[in-house]
Amino acid sequence: MLQTFLPLFLMTFGICLFIVLMQFLWRYIDDMVGKGLGIPVLAEMFFYAALFLVPMALPLAILLASLMTFGNLGERLELLAMKSAGISLIHIMRPLIITICFVSVGAFFFQNNVMPVVQVKLYTLLYSMRQKSPELEIPEGVFYKEITGFNVYVKHKDTETGLLRDLMIYDYSDGFNNARVIVADSGRLKTSADKLYLVLSLFNGESFENLRSQNKTASAQKAVPYRRETFQTKDILIEFDANFNRTDESLMQNQYMGKNLTDLQTSIDSMTLRLDSVKNQQAEHLYRLSYKQSYSAKAREPLSTPDSLRKAGESYDVIAYSGDIVLNFDSLYTAASPSEKANILKRARNRAENIRTDNYFKAATVGDEAYKVRRHLTEWHKKFTLSFACLVFFFIGAPLGAIIRKGGLGMPVVISVILFIFYYIVDNIGFKMARDGVWAAWEGMWLSSAVLAPLGIFLTYKAANDSVIMNADTYLNALKNLVGKRPGRKVERKEVIIYTPDYAALLPRLEKLVADCQTYISTHRRWVNYFRFWKQGGKDHTAEALAEEMESLVEELSNSDQNLLLNKLMDYPIIGGYNRLNLRLTGKRGLAVGLFFPVGLPIYLLAVYQRKLLLHDIRAIQKTSGELKEMFFSLHLCDNTKTT
């Protein structure tokens, strides 16, 4: 098993890692193109990106490799041979289960010890690449704006000599009001030896410069002074750092991405304590700002009497009761003059706006702190979800391969991609819910595992019991039975007949079957009482008895040597599956389900449709049984004196 699985696992892991690496490259291609980055820098970036994408490629590789392994074994009948030898599927999977457990443990240590270092170096490198100035490649016929403070227009470029012809340069490095325009016949652009400056050498041109900044009284004059210069050669030095400067990694190391499990737990504890302290302080501050608390505090001050309030310049009607102040705000506002009312409203509005601004600022502060805590929590749970995802995908892929029995890269790749896309979508939904605080961190991060784990258990159980869950014919036949298109009965003449049917003994049974069918048709209608249907649990014991009697007659008459009789037996319908809904619910439980109309009503309507098909088949049984009875006499299989 290991010799079969490990090569496939290594191959699929390499393929999956290459695919996700190309997706990563497509995402960050704009940060790398046109920057003049060297091969060592790009190789380092791809190395860290490959390690960073291992958690995404590893579960997909395990799913694909396990599916292909057991699919190949099933397709070559090796799995069937092992089961025939008495080896169960779980026993066959045991070596791979142990291997995947080791892989899961290794994935945990990779996430905890290696991933923080990789993330710090990768994000630092990407940030440094974004900050690097683009490589100068001035196009023809358009204005080039990548040089800070300059717009450069080149009409034609000589690719052999590197000479730029018909240049127009707008220099607004000192501001738009002091812009300078330079026109030249030709010129050259090169970088200084230390790559910190651009040297622009211009030939045969002239420049126009606005002197507004040099004349303080220019605003009072009608004309603005300027300077015009004609030159044969002119060099312009422009600050332009073309070097690749690495950002300090200490900034990223202090973030959640650069911490292992122990550091994350320490940061979560300290940040949670600080966040709770800030929340408590803000809650106390809001309580102190409430008017009840303010006036209750003022009631304990010496200014609690009306005389003292008037001395303080407050002309309010105040009534003191046992040290507390009771204010009637409506009467106070009504007694004030119009100017005092305007002043009161203005002060109230300003105070409300100040409180709102202060609360918005505090809410933003608390929100930022809570976001940091959530990001640390999601990173903490991510250390474990990868390991569990590896186990889940193995217990999905291995049983699924044993069920579908298709190897190669065809069907397994399609199924693996569909399952992984589903996992990726669910995982991202849970992560964003946890990150934004909609769900708890553990709920969001373990959502994908909670969704796929039952699927793995279900598939493992079905594969261990040789289920036909992935057999398309099973679902096709069930659909045909549902709509009434069932396969016909096939009865062939036996080469060796041991017991010849006793036609005389079978004749009364045929007559009784015809009579029972007629009774059923006359007493059973298509529509049945809704509550009686659910009280009986959807069962129809009379129809079940008729179907059993019909099958018994077909089984006995199939031993006949008469071809006409055998052909007539094929007119009997196959009754099973659709004729009744065996819900195993009777009495009060059935009524409880029936009262829940969103579930009970559709099932009842389906049962009514199936009952229509059943009545059609009962009529076919009655007709075929009557024709068989006549054939007994026409073929001289029975004595005519026994006719009814």
Q: What is the mean pLDDT of residues 409-423?
A: 83
Q: Mean pLDDT across the stretch 473-489?
A: 65
SS (H, E, C) 379-390: HHHHHHHHHHHH
What single-letter DSSP state applies at residue 409?
T
Please state which of the ranges 20-29, 303-312, 479-488, 515-524 shows the lowest mean pLDDT.
303-312
User: 110 near 58, Cβ under 8 Å?
Assistant: no
CA gap 346, 341 in Å, rounded: 8
Q: Within a 10 A sphere around the Cβ of 448, how many other Cβ atoms?
A: 24
Q: For residue 235, give the nearest of 209, 200, 267, 269 by alpha carbon.
A: 200
Among 585, 582, 575, 518, smallest CA distance to 552 is for 575
Q: Strand pairing partners for 150?
A: 171
Give me the mean pLDDT over the 138-142 stretch: 79
383 or 413, greater pLDDT:
383
pLDDT at position 336, please?
A: 84
What pLDDT is attached to residue 389? 92
155 φ/ψ angles, rounded to the nearest 5 degrees? -80, -35
pLDDT per residue as tens digits for the range 301-313: 444 444 444 444 4
Mean pLDDT of 322-334: 69
> pLDDT tier at 317 (50, 70, 90 boundaries)?
very low
Percent of the chain whose pLDDT exceeds 90: 16
For every residue of 332-360, DSSP letters joined together read: HHHHS-HHHHHHHHHHHHHHHHHHHHHHH
Cα 537 to chain centroid, rounded: 39
**Cα(584)–Cα(576) distance, integer angstroms:** 16
Q: Is 169 helix (H, G, I), strand (E, B) or coil?
A: strand
- The DSSP H or E segment spanning 109 is helix 89-109
User: Is the predicted pLDDT of residue 379 greater than 50, yes or no?
Assistant: yes
Summarised one tens digit per residue, pLDDT across range 66-111 is 988 888 888 888 888 888 888 888 888 899 999 999 999 999 999 9
- The encoded tokens of residue 351 equal 């105070």
Query: How large is the average pLDDT for residues 321-331?
Result: 63
pLDDT of residue 644: 42
pLDDT at 319: 45
pLDDT of residue 640: 56
C-beta of residue 460 within 8 angstroms of C-beta of residue 395: yes
Let me know the angle formed at the C-alpha of 283 by 277 and 287, rounded to the nearest 5 degrees.
145
Torsion of Cα atoms, 282 then 284 then 289 then 291, to 10°: 150
Alpha-carbon span 183 to 162, nearest angstrom: 18
What token pair was written down for 499?
């017991």
| Vertex 378: Cα angle to 377 and 384 (nearest 5) | 100
| Torsion angle (degrees, nearest 10) of CA 23, 28, 34, 36 | -100
Q: Residue 574 corresponds to which tokens in the numbers above?
A: 């196959």
Find the mean pLDDT for residues 598-619: 76
Please say if the pLDDT value at position 316 is more than 70.
no
Q: What are phi and psi of 224, to 5 degrees?
A: -100, 130
pLDDT for 570: 87
Q: What is the pLDDT of residue 303?
A: 41
**pLDDT over 60 at 290, yes or no:** yes
Closest to 209 (Cα-Cα) out of 235, 171, 241, 244: 171
Higher pLDDT, 461 or 530: 461
E-strand stretches of 172-225: 180-191, 197-210
Is 205 in contact with 89 (CB distance < 8 Å)?
no
Task: Average the pLDDT over each of 208-222, 260-274, 283-297, 462-476 and give the range with the smallest value.
Answer: 208-222
Q: What was the pLDDT predicted at 403?
A: 83
Closest CA to 320 of 334, 331, 333, 307: 307
Sheet hosting strand 143-144, strand order edge to edge: 143-144, 150-157, 164-171, 180-191, 197-210, 226-239
Distance CA 456, CA 481 (A): 29
Locus of tokens 């023809």: 140
Burial class (CB in 10 A: 0-12, 13-18, 19+), 487: exposed
Q: Which residues pair with 186 in a beta bridge?
A: 165, 203
Q: How far is CA 224 from CA 172, 177, 217, 219, in A?
A: 17, 11, 9, 8
Average pLDDT, the chain: 79
**316-320, 505-509, 526-530: range with highest mean pLDDT:** 505-509
Reading the block at residue 305, the tokens are 């009497």
Q: Which residues pair with 144 in a beta bridge?
A: 152
436's torsion region: left (phi>0), alpha (psi -120 to 50) or beta? alpha
Task: Look at residues 85, 97, 92, 24 and name the one whose alpha carbon lies nearest to residue 54.
Answer: 24
- Which comes out higher in pLDDT, residue 209 or 162? 209
Following DSSP, what letter does each residue of 482-511 receive, concatenated? HHT--PPP-----SS-SS---HHHHHHHHH
579 band by pLDDT with thresholds 50, 70 and 90: very low
- Reply yes or no on whether the pLDDT at 34 is more than 60: no
pLDDT at 459: 87
Q: How many Å apart are CA 526 and CA 533, to the nearest integer?
A: 12
At 297, the pLDDT band (50, 70, 90 cuts) reads: very low
* Backbone CA torsion sign across 612, 613, 614, 616: positive
Predicted confidence band of residue 223 (pLDDT cuts 50, 70, 90): low
Mean per-residue pLDDT for 551-570?
A: 86
Residues 224, 234: contact at Cβ < 8 Å?
Answer: no
- Can you tell me the mean pLDDT for 449-461? 89
Rank 103-107, 201-205, 252-256, 605-609 by mean pLDDT and report only the highest: 103-107
Interatomic CA distance for residues 54 and 241, integer angstroms: 35
Confidence category of residue 433, pLDDT binned at 50, 70, 90? very high
Strand partners, 240: none
To 5 degrees, how large is the angle CA 395–CA 410–CA 69? 40
Instruction: Kindly list the distances between the CA atom of residue 244 and the CA atoms of 38, 133, 196, 378, in Å, as whole numbers in the listed order.
Output: 9, 8, 11, 33
Q: How far is CA 334 from CA 318, 343, 351, 480, in A?
A: 14, 13, 21, 83
Residue 328 has pLDDT above 60, yes or no: yes
Residue 26 has pLDDT above 80, yes or no: yes
Global pTM reads 0.61
Which percentage of the chain shows pLDDT scores above 70? Answer: 76
Are 154 and 136 within 8 A, CB to CB?
Answer: no
